[in-house]
Structure 1
Amino acid sequence: MELRQIKYFIEVAKREHVTEAANALHVAQSAVSRQIFNLEAELGVELFIREGRNVRLTPMGRIFLDHMEQAMNVINNALQVVEEYMEPERGTIHIGYTSSMASYLLPTAISAFRVQYPNVKFELNQGAYHELIDWVHRGNINLALLAPLPKETKGMEGSVLFHERIVALLPRNHSLATASSIKLNQLRTDAFIFFPEGFMLRDITLKACQQHGFQPDIAFEGADMDAVKGMVSAGLGVALVPEITLVDNIPRSAVKVPIVDPSIMRTVGVLVSEERKLLPTEKLFHTFLHHFFRRLEQYQK
């Protein structure tokens, strides 16, 4: 089995089309077809079901793809380690993050990091909570910024960067918009704007409402933080959002109001694999994140 065969196989599996894979690889279609045929012959199993010009993975093909993607990630990491060994300050950081990190937290951290290491490059990958955990496990990325930080995940190691409050975002004409703080159950009759199922922020806010005696009326759902803010600003409902997402970015027709009963908090942290060492440049950034947020927390106090 050759490395070239694995690369061709992964590209065909991703595109489910031999011609498109060949074009992406900048090789002849016949070369791709021949290498896939040789790979199947060597393994003694069919990896694809042919359907005209299209192909799709067999059950064994899906299993093989999962292992080969992880193997290629290991190989690519090894090559990057060699490249970065002499100059870690010129490497590339592969990091994943959730939507609530996108507008302020991650850009602020990266900006501060590049003051010290201006030649470092970043490959940014936004994903859903459980998707990011899977990416770290598979080696697609080596670092993920998550909130809340998973308590126990096999083969993973997480460390808390800081704790943040969940606050209420209300339309400016809401009856509680001028309050200095509110109790959560004061919103029991309001229409809520929630994140979709699968988002941890939805679970946190839903649980808080239920523990305080009411089932929220979920009128709208949005997977994007800016979309949720926009719906609140348009007067379509109220939302519970991480306070950090409102730094320098509160919609014009909305207001932020702290919640004091209960005080809803979540951990924000960074997740890495216990089974793989961080690449040299990524290790620099991992250490920097902890120092950066420790200093920021001390400054805020």
Structure 2
Amino acid sequence: MELRQLQYFIEVAKREHVTEASNALHVAQSAISRQISSLEDELGVPLFHREGRNIRLTVLGKIFLHHAEAAIREIEKAQQVMKEYLDPERGTIRLGFPSSLAANTLPTIISAFRKQHPHVGFQLRQGSYKYLIDAVRKAEIDISLIGPVPTSEKDIDGHVLFVERIDALLPMTHPKANQSTIRLSDLQQDSFVLFPTKYILHKIVVEACQMIGFTPKVSFEGEDIDAIKGLVATGLGVTLLPEVTLHENIPRGTKRIPISEPPLKRNVGIITPNNRKLPPSEQIFYQFVIQFFDQIYHSNQFV
């Protein structure tokens, strides 16, 4: 089995058309057809159903595609590692992040890192809590910022960078909007605007409310923080958000208020795989991030 066969197979599988794959690969159709036929002969199973000019994957073809793509990712990763060992200052860091860290924390870290390592590149991947953990575990990315830091995930190591409050964001028309602090129980009659259930911030808010005796009534859900803030500004509900998302961008018509009882916090950190070694560029970045936040705490600043 050759690398070229896998590359041809994946391209044809994605397009389900040999001519389109030929154009994309800049390879003759006959060469692609020969390589795929050879691959099928070697495997002893058909990978495609032929239907005139169109083709589609068989059941076994779909299974093989999953493994072929994983193999190509590993080979590409190995090539990248070789380049980075020759020059870690010109590698590429595959970094994941949640939406709650996108506006402030992530740009601050990358900007500071690039001042010291200007030729290192980044491939950024945004996703939900579970997605980021799975992506690191599966080697789709190498490192991810995350909050809170998982403590018992298989093949994952976590390091806490900072701890932050979770504050209430209320419309200015809310009866409690003029208070300096509020209790979470003050919001039990309100409608909430939250992230969807697959997001960890949804779980944090719901569990906090349930711990003091009520289940929040969720009137709207959104995957974008700015959209959630906008819905609060229009008076459609209240929300709870990490303070890092409320540093500079509080919409007109809303009021950010700390919660006095119970005090709500989350930690934010960085996760890496513990079943494989980070490539050199990622090792440099990992150590930089830890030192960066250590210095912030020592100077009483916050990102």
Q: 1:203 aligned to 2:199?
A: no
Aligned AA (1:186)? D
Following superposition, the deviation at residue 68 of structure 1 comes to 2.6
- The change in CA–CA distance for 1:6 and 1:215 in structure 2 (over 3 A counts) is same
**Offset of residue 86 of structure 1:** 3.0
Matched to 2:230, the amino acid is: G
Partner of 1:162: 162
Give SS of 1:41's match: helix
* Residue of structure 2 in register with 1:83 after alignment: 83
Q: Distance in 2 between matches of 1:52 and 1:266?
A: 57
Q: TM-score, structure 1 length as denominator?
A: 0.92
Match of 2:38 in 1: 38
Q: Greater CA deviation, 134-143 or 277-286?
A: 134-143
The answer for the alignment partner of 1:175 in structure 2 is 175
Contact 1:194 1:239 in 2 (8 A): yes
TM-score by length of 2: 0.92
Greater CA drift, 221-230 or 145-154? 145-154
Which residue pairs with 1:285 in the alignment? 285
User: How big is the alpha-carbon RMSD for the aligned residues of Structure 1 and Structure 2?
Assistant: 2.0
Checking the alignment, whether the CA contact within 8 Å between 1:89 and 1:120 is kept in structure 2 is yes
Q: C-alpha separation between the residues in 1 aligned to 2:55 and 2:147?
A: 38
In 2, the alpha carbon distance for the partners of 1:23 and 1:129 equals 38
Aligned to 1:131: 131
Q: For residues 24 and 248 of structure 1, what CA distance do their matches in structure 2 show?
A: 45
Task: Output aligned runs, 1:63-82, within 5 Å.
Answer: 63-82=63-82
Note the C-alpha offset of 1:56: 4.5
- Share of identical aligned residues, percent? 54
Task: Structure 1 unaligned segments of length 5 or more: list them.
Answer: none
Q: What's the CA shift for 1:40?
A: 1.8
Deviation at 1:157, TM superposition (A): 1.7
For 1:228, the equivalent position in structure 2 comes to 228
Name the stretch that deviates more: 268-277 or 208-217: 268-277
Moved more, 233-242 or 20-29: 20-29
Q: How many residues align?
A: 301
Partner letter of residue 280 of structure 1?
P
CA distance in 2, matches of 1:19, 1:235: 54
| Cα contact 1:160–1:269 (8 A) shared by 2 | yes
Structure 2 residue matching 1:300: 3-state secondary structure: coil
SS at match of 2:149: coil
